[in-house]
Amino acid sequence: MMKYRFIYLLLLYFNLGFSQTPFPDNGKLFQDTIIPKIEIIINPDSLQEILKYENKWSDHEFKADFIFKDNSGNDTIKEVGFRLRGNTSRKSKKKSFKISFNTFKKGRKFYGVEKLNLNGEHNDPSIVRSKFCTDLADQMGIIAPRANHVMLYINGDYYGLYINVEHIDEEFVKLRYGNNGGNLYKCLYPADLNYWGNKGDYYKKEANGRRIYDLKTNKDVDDYSDLALFIKVLNTTSDKDFMCEMEKIFDVDSYLKVMAFDILTANWDGYIFNKNNFYLYHDQKTGKFKYIIYDLDNTFGIDWFGIDWAKRNIYEWSRDSQKRPLYKRILDQKIYRSRFTSYMKEIIDSIYQTQKLNEYLDKKKDLISEAALMDQYRTLDYGFTFQDFLDSYDIAPGYDHVPIGIKQFLSARRFWANEQLEINKLLPDIGSDKIIFDQNNETFQIIVEIDNNQLLSKIELSYRFNNGEFEYLELNDLGQNGDVIMNDGIYSSPSISSAGNKYLHYYLSITDKKDFEFNEPACDYKAFYFPESGLDLAINEFMASNDNTIQDEAGEYDDWLELYNYGSDTIFLGDKYLTDNQNNKTKWKMPEQWLLPNEFILFWADKDEEQGENHCNFKLSADGEYIGIFNSGSTGYEMIDEISFDKQKKDVSMGRYPDGTGEFGFMDPTPGFSNNILSEKDILTDTDFKIIPNPANTVLTLSFSDHISDKSIINIIDINGNILKNIINDQSKSISVDVSKLPAGTYFIRVINKKNISISSFIKI
């Protein structure tokens, strides 16, 4: 029984309340129901330098003005960076270009992106393959760059129909994964992921004038040790331990879908066949590497090798003579091979339907035909005529590297993939599992959906409470315990008491009818946290008008709120909600973090979820509104704490005194720290930090002693007692403070941590 797992997994991203947006909307920049226009205004001499053949490999960026035109009007960005991009396209007559919004103005973005890739698609007579791929990836639940068609004008001349592709960088991974501090590697030919040794530096080898594994983030550190470990585990782990070790460091399940995608689109210019064109991101949240698809124009039958890609065996898709450990070793695992087969079958049955995809292609052709007809550069490299453009969707247009039309390829690939599927080697597999918790009776059940359940002999639940001993019981498909229909592939446990327990660890053991046994997860367990009522969790402080008090990680002065655990038990936040709307109790799900007794946590109410997991999807109104904390759905979304507040003062917070239980009042802000310390007379201690220089003019440095160099808050205070600036110091032994905008005079610096308060003065000259 197949239940279209892609839909389930896609929903799961959102049901878990992650702060990332794996599949963001196209928005204005990547809208694909019209063809926006991009105009570049550049000095003619600069354009001439860019287009000189001898400069084809140059990445020098020239200043240009950028104009984006759509049905809503024009957006103009002055002084962007403009250069050539690509590989073979640099030698082509229809060039591809890169636009950088932050080259000459650091930090600048255009609708959330720092760079754009304008691809000329000179190999593709249809000018649709790359866009088709990104849309298919989205349907399959595979993270990919957004893309759309645009018309490019340079100094008033029409340079043709282009595909505008989202650039993969720290902004891309932050939006998708909710973090961007991990290493992001751009992997280009010959990036085969073969083992070269233990040291990270071994993987800094170059080919064609650039690194094969090119680090795009954290360049100042330039540490490849994580990549070296990943490649070592991939290549040297025994077959017996392979699944356990790989699942610790790599998102295998997502890559199984990528494998299916690459084969069904005939993306031979990626990793599996051509050891080229992919990214690896070391996700900070999960600790695992994620594979990101990239550069998708050589697809749907385009060929330079004399290979019939529509017929090529889906289990033997890599080159016979070359090692591709990521593809080969995964398929060597019986469980992964079965799951890959299931994904393939599911995609073919639900997404890779020729009639539906043909209708998509017809709509795209109708949308872009006029712009393609006007595109004179389209004809220069291979002599593509407009009739070739029209024909290429249906039949081979008559060029050696395009031996088949896209629709012909889709039909053939679907047929041969179906023929090649190893249906006889499928294993029973978990489509989904969920815990149903009864708050009133303090009991839980587990419900498991099994794909290919006709192959199942037994499924067993192993579970333990609070790191205790594991207990075991068999699940059944008997139409009992919440399983309504017998033999429907839904397996359930009886009700199990959870009284007095905080959390549950569990895994599932599956045995097929040939007595092959495996666990899910392979070598780990899943966790479930039992919701509690009457929690000692409070909204402790908030600021709805942060003009100059404290900056978030992006350097922005945004609204914030602080929660405090004033009880004696640790509290799990990941099944609870924050909201600014009483009628929408589940507006923002908090991250999967634990809050210890007497611990504070700071959330940014800035509607900037892409900036990290502690950034809410709402803002606070300085004119007054509502903040509430609500418990999990199992408690009926019980209200934990709430406040309705009136008009707020700029750079003044409202907080409870004492912490957690007191009444709210206006106060000097202490984000992330106790409110009590500022509600009483400051305690003057011996000076525990040095101010250098003193007097200071523009920048001063604070150097801390060991016992106050842990997390602390630093106040800059004038002689009237007004707090002018708050700075959070996370364990740095010294920090620099910009005081250039302060008027000349005497000021105080107050350093607050959990242990003490230290105050010293300085003179601004």
pLDDT of residue 487: 85
pLDDT of residue 754: 64
pLDDT band for position 720 (cuts 50, 70, 90): low
pLDDT of residue 687: 57
pLDDT band for position 657 (cuts 50, 70, 90): confident
Per-residue pLDDT of 488-497, as tens digits, reads 899 999 999 9
pLDDT band for position 484 (cuts 50, 70, 90): low
How many whole angstroms separate alpha carbon 161 and alpha carbon 210?
29
How many whole angstroms separate alpha carbon 724 and alpha carbon 714?
11
Mean pLDDT of 286-311: 96
How many whole angstroms separate alpha carbon 524 and alpha carbon 288?
14
Concatenated DSSP letters of 30-55: T--SS--EEEEEE-HHHHHHHH-GGG
* Three-class secondary structure assignment of 664-687: EEEECCCCCCCCHHHCCCCCCCCC
| Predicted confidence (pLDDT) at residue 606 exceeds the cutoff of 70 | yes
pLDDT band for position 719 (cuts 50, 70, 90): low
| Predicted confidence (pLDDT) at residue 708 exceeds the cutoff of 70 | no
Contact call for residues 618 and 606 (beta carbons, < 8 A): no
CA distances from 327 to 70, 91, 194, 316, 483 (A): 42, 32, 12, 9, 38
pLDDT of residue 689: 81
Query: What stretch of H or E contains 273?
Result: helix 271-274
Q: Which range has the worst mean pLDDT, 211-220, 516-525, 607-616? A: 607-616
| Residue located via tokens 């070598």 | 523
| Predicted confidence (pLDDT) at residue 561 exceeds the cutoff of 70 | yes
pLDDT of residue 347: 97
pLDDT band for position 483 (cuts 50, 70, 90): low
Per-residue pLDDT of 133-146, as tens digits, reads 999 999 999 999 99
pLDDT band for position 30 (cuts 50, 70, 90): very high
Cβ-in-10-Å burial (0-12, 13-18, 19+) of 647 comes to exposed
Q: Which residue has the higher pLDDT, 356 or 6?
A: 356
Per-residue pLDDT of 80-129, as tens digits, reads 999 999 988 899 999 999 999 999 998 899 998 999 999 999 999 999 99
pLDDT of residue 2: 44
pLDDT of residue 651: 86
Q: Which residue has the higher pLDDT, 452 or 610?
A: 452
pLDDT of residue 586: 94
Residue 274, token pair as written in the block:
């051509």
Neighbours of 50 (CB within 10 A): 21
Q: Which range has the worst mean pLDDT, 20-34, 75-89, 446-460? A: 20-34
Per-residue pLDDT of 40-70, as tens digits, reads 999 999 999 999 999 999 999 999 999 999 9
Give which of 360, 278, 349, 352 is closest to 310, Cα–Cα: 352
The CA-to-CA distance between both ends of the chain, in Å, stands at 76
Contact call for residues 316 and 328 (beta carbons, < 8 A): no
pLDDT of residue 13: 36
pLDDT band for position 685 (cuts 50, 70, 90): low
CA distances from 227 to 201, 507, 701 (A): 10, 29, 36
Mean pLDDT of 508-534: 90
Q: Which range has the worst mean pLDDT, 81-95, 615-629, 737-751? A: 737-751
pLDDT band for position 188 (cuts 50, 70, 90): very high
How many helices (DSSP H) and strands (DSSP E) are in the chain?
13, 40
pLDDT band for position 726 (cuts 50, 70, 90): confident
Q: Which residue has the higher pLDDT, 221 or 437?
A: 221
The pTM of this model reads 0.76
| Predicted confidence (pLDDT) at residue 18 exceeds the cutoff of 50 | no
Mean pLDDT of 711-732: 75
| Predicted confidence (pLDDT) at residue 388 exceeds the cutoff of 60 | yes
pLDDT of residue 608: 86
| Max CA separation in the chain (angstroms) | 86
| Predicted confidence (pLDDT) at residue 4 exceeds the cutoff of 50 | no
Domains with residue ranges and CATH for the chain: 5-170 (no CATH), 180-332 (no CATH), 428-510 (2.60.40), 537-678 (2.60.40), 689-764 (2.60.40.3080)
| Predicted confidence (pLDDT) at residue 555 exceeds the cutoff of 80 | no
pLDDT of residue 620: 96
| Predicted confidence (pLDDT) at residue 679 exceeds the cutoff of 60 | no
Computed over every residue of the chain, the mean pLDDT equals 90
The DSSP call for residue 453 is G
How many whole angstroms separate alpha carbon 569 and alpha carbon 565?
8
β-strands 278-282, 443-451: how paired? unpaired
| Residue located via tokens 């100059």 | 548
